[in-house]
Structure 1
Amino acid sequence: MQEILSKFDAQGARVATVLSVIHYTTDEERQKYINDGYIPISGEDYQHYIGNRGVGDNGTGYIRDTKTGKPVSAPPAPPVDEEPQEPPVDAERLAVYEAMAAQAERLAAQAERIAALEVALKTKGCDRK
C-alpha cells in the first residue's frame, strides 16, 4: 500500500500531498519531504481532506486538528459584505455621457437657429433650396 504524506498550513488546511512510489521511492527522498513539514496520514483521512467524505458541518470541508491530528470540520466561511444597492459610478463613463448630452443640446440649439434663419429668409422673399 502506498504511504501518503501531506503538508498542512497553520490553520490545518491541506496544501500538498505526495505518495510513495510516485513522488519518492527511497528513505532519503521520503526524509526530504518529512523535513519539509509533510506528515504521514491515513487513506481515510486523505479522503476527508480532498472532499470525498462530504463538506463537513459548515460546508467548508475538513482541516487537520492540531491536537488530535485527525480531520475535523473546517470553520464556517466568513460573512460576505452585501453588495452596495447602487452600482458604483465610473467617472470616465459619466464624463463621456455628460459630454454626449451637452453635444446633443448644442446640436438641437443649432438646428433651432437654422430653422429660424430659414423662416426669416422665406419671409424676406429669399427661398433657399
Structure 2
Amino acid sequence: MEYLCKFGRIGNRKTTVISGVHYNTNAERQKYIDDGYIPISDEDYQHYIGNRGQGDNGTGYIRDAKTGKPVSAPPAPPVKAEPEPIEPEADDVRLAAFEAMAAQEERMAAQAKRIAELETMVKALKGGEGK
C-alpha cells in the first residue's frame, strides 16, 4: 500500500490518496504526482493522522520542507480572552413601566379568579344551570 499526500503551504496534510483505493495503475498514480501529491511512508502517514501522538506542542505534525519528514507542528496561537460583557444599565423609566405592567397582570388575574368565584356562587343561588 502506498500513500500519496498533498500538503499545504506550511506543511499540513491536506489530502491523501491510497494505492488500490484511489488509483490502481501507474498512469493514474502519475496524475496525482503531477497534481502535487508526494509519496510518503506508512510511518510518516501515521504521524500525520495522529496515530503517533500530537507532537511536542500538542498540535500534531507537519511535513518539513527540507527533510520531507514529519516534524512537530508549531504551537497554536494564543487565544485572546474576550472582554466580559458589560451589563447594560437599567432604564429606570422602562423598568418602572414593566413592573407596573406585571403588577397590573397580577391584579387582572386576581379579578378574573374572583369573578369566576362570584359566577359560581350566583349559579348556586339560582339553583344550578338553566334555572
Question: What TM-score do you get using the length of structure 2 for normalisation?
Answer: 0.68
User: Residue by residue, what CA displacement relative to the aligned partner does 1:47-66 show, whole Å, maximum 9, x if unpaired?
Assistant: 10000111000000000000
Cα deviation, residue 105, structure 1: 3.1
| Alignment partner of 1:71 is 2:70 | yes
Alignment coverage as a number of residue pairs:
103
Code of the residue aligned with 1:102 in structure 2: it is: A
**Structure 1 length-normalised TM:** 0.69
1:62 aligns with 2:47: no
Counterpart residue type for residue 84 of structure 2: Q
Identity percentage over the alignment? 63
Where does residue 17 of structure 1 map in the other structure? 16
User: Which residue pairs with 2:127 in the alignment?
Assistant: none
What residue identity is the alignment partner of 2:97?
A: A
Q: What is the alpha-carbon root mean square deviation over aligned residues?
A: 2.6
Unaligned residue ranges in structure 2 (runs of 5+): 108-131
Question: What does 1:1-129 align with in structure 2 at a 5 Å threshold?
Answer: 2-86=1-85, 99=94, 101-105=96-100
Q: Secondary structure at the match of 1:16?
A: strand
Unaligned runs of 5+ in 1: 112-129
Measured against aligned partners, the alpha-carbon deviations of 1:6-35 in whole angstroms (never above 9, x if no partner) come to 110001000111111111011111111111
Secondary structure of 1:23's match? coil
